[in-house]
Amino acid sequence: MKPYSDFAFVEHALDRADHLRDDAQALDALRANAKTIVVDPNGFTRVDAEGQLLALEGAAPADIFLGLHEGTAWFAHALADALPNDVPSTELRSAALQWPVLASTAFAQARAIVHWHRSHIYCPKCGGELKFSRAGWQADCLRCAATQYPRTDPAVIMAVSDGEHILLGRHPSWPPHRYSTLAGFVEPGESLELTVRREVMEETGVHVVRTRYLASQPWPFPGSLMLGFVAHAEHSTPRVDGQELEDARWFSRAEIQAALANGGDLDTLKLSPPLSISRWLIEQWAKGESA
């Protein structure tokens, strides 16, 4: 099995078996032989001596049901405290590069749903206490009876091209020569296509004229869904405000192909690691995908 798919957290997802979430008897029968991924408040989980996922055997009634794989049920358990330093552990980005895809995709699901549990202690309508139901996939207010469902924050990420070049930007905190695709959160009442145009304009002053959706990636850091686009823009000199982006540049197809041929790592241009849809979008553009 490849250490990662074209990008991480997508392939070999568990069968979420929604019908089992309401079937307490069936879930109880599955708990004894279940695998449980623990997630600490920093998003870390336990690993064995080889650095691979150490899933606990069995599941407790309060654990969150993730789904099934070949008859085995997988659960997530939210640890109240951070894993101690002497307990081997890892975080999701490292896991995505080192684990089999099934394990890292399940860990991504566990991290995302555990984050929702941790950030939804009280009802957003009345401040009452929430009680989780449906094996962890619903929260019901004990005071006003309002129902909450797990939240995902959509964000667009785009390979913007003028036909011959791709527009990449860099954040001030990144290592030298790291450039990546532009991205931004979708705002309430906004279409994905308008978000692409708005974000590219806000961050670089470049005018997008066409967009085309390609693929999505769960990005549980802590709760995003990245929606990947190719976009066609009018060629103009990018301008940045120095806050969100430190620099934005057009790179030629030859520059990108040279970087990709060298594992994404040139002295003058360092692309994001292959686990992200950002890298995949750049690769698709280099292969000729356009809006």
> Which spans of this chain sit near Zn ion (rule: CB under 5 A)?
123, 125-126, 128, 141, 143-144, 146
Shortest distance (Å) from residue 131 CB to Zn ion: 11
Shortest distance (Å) from residue 142 CB to Zn ion: 8
Looking at the Cβ atoms of 97 and 146, the one nearer to Zn ion is 146
Residue type, 259: A
Looking at the Cβ atoms of 127 and 263, the one nearer to Zn ion is 127
The Cα 260–Cα 110 span in angstroms is: 32
Shortest distance (Å) from residue 13 CB to Zn ion: 32
* Under 8 Å between Cβ of 126 and 153: no
Calculate the dihedral angle through the C-alpha atoms of 264, 222, 21, 124, rounding to the nearest 10 degrees. Answer: -150
Shortest distance (Å) from residue 149 CB to Zn ion: 14
Shortest distance (Å) from residue 231 CB to Zn ion: 41
Looking at the Cβ atoms of 131 and 171, the one nearer to Zn ion is 131
CB neighbourhood size of 232 (10 A): 15
Q: For residue 15, what is the DSSP state?
A: B
Shortest distance (Å) from residue 120 CB to Zn ion: 11
Report the SS3 class of residue 225.
strand
E-assigned strand segments in the chain: 35-39, 45-46, 56-57, 64-69, 72-78, 89-90, 130-133, 138-141, 147-148, 153-161, 165-170, 182-185, 208-219, 224-233, 247-252
The Cα 130–Cα 32 span in angstroms is: 27
Looking at the Cβ atoms of 60 and 126, the one nearer to Zn ion is 126
Looking at the Cβ atoms of 87 and 144, the one nearer to Zn ion is 144
Shortest distance (Å) from residue 148 CB to Zn ion: 9
Looking at the Cβ atoms of 62 and 144, the one nearer to Zn ion is 144
* Under 8 Å between Cβ of 251 and 268: no
Element (H, E) at 103: helix 101-119
- In terms of residues, how long is the chain? 291
Looking at the Cβ atoms of 128 and 205, the one nearer to Zn ion is 128
